[in-house]
Amino acid sequence: MNEQGLCVQHHLEIITPLFTTPLFTTPLSTPLSTPLSSRQQVSAVGTAMTSMIKTLNVFPTERTIVNRERSKQSYRIAPYLLGKLAAELPIGALFPALFGAVVYPTTGLHQSWARFLRFLGILTLEACSAQAMGLAIGALAPSTDAALAMGPAIMLVFIVFGGLYVNPDNVPLPLKWVPNASLIKASYEALCINEFKGLEFEVGPDKGPGALANGDQVLQRMGFADEGALRGCYVAQGRILLVNYLLMYRILKMKKPKYQPLREPDDEDGRE
């Protein structure tokens, strides 16, 4: 990404929360007019989408130059890929941390340094996975336009199966693999556990029979209350990150430019 693109991305990561945070200024420990997990939904989806979009066009725009240099055997695919990741990863980690640093204190989330740092770590790891997915899609797509069309469509599937709208326990058996492959689900679950674990709600005297008294009950209702679930989210996100890197490497390896081998002229051709 060039300097102008970095500047735009930097300002968007600050301006975007300013439009969403006024909706979530009430602390989670008090009664809310918005769903309990709305903050986590916005954080997970916003981080994933912005991180993926900015990497979709990386390989398509460089393909002509890279193919020409690979045909001359200027370098192998592994050093090129490592160099590209070394250039993209620091930027990919910076912007979600900036986004989280604005969102966390302005949306009434749990006021704890440990939870705040975990919040930033979860968003950063998710951003790296989304970035890797964008690079893999860009490596597969034949053009920049195709990559920009494929990326949001694939991310939409992961959003639907990410636990925001459908409980993973209710997903039909043939589609059980989709939530396990969803970087949104891994991040959303980790953000909910980080926020609701051990949280006590301030409930008034008009508490109804179905009211929730603490965050553990929220996690139980969402299906995120298993022991060691947070560690499992980290493992799942790391697995998704690794799979996307391997896919990206294999796709670039298979798309190596191929040319018709030159044939030595026959003796008769030489005499002519």
Measured between alpha carbons, how far is 261 from 89 in angstroms, rounded to an integer?
Answer: 38
Q: Please choose, from the candidates 132, 122, 121, 138, the residue with its C-alpha nearest in 3D space to the C-alpha of residue 51.
A: 132
Low-confidence ranges of the chain (pLDDT < 70): 1-37, 202-211, 227, 257-262, 265-272
Question: Residue 198 — left, alpha, or beta (φ > 0 → left; ψ -120 to 50 → alpha)?
Answer: left
- Is the torsion defined by CA of 167, 22, 151, 51 positive or negative? negative
Alpha-helical runs (H) found in 73-182? 77-106, 113-140, 144-160, 177-181
* Bridge partners, residue 214, by sequence: 200
Which residue type does 173 have? Answer: L
- Is the torsion defined by CA of 28, 32, 36, 37 positive or negative? negative
Q: Please choose, from the candidates 141, 186, 138, 142, the residue with its C-alpha nearest in 3D space to the C-alpha of residue 161.
A: 186
**pLDDT value, residue 31:** 46
Instruction: Tell me the two tokens of residue 221.
Output: 């209702």
**pLDDT value, residue 5:** 55
**pLDDT value, residue 79:** 84
**pLDDT value, residue 244:** 93
Q: For the chain, which residues make up each domain, given as ranges?
A: 35-199+214-255
pTM of the model: 0.79
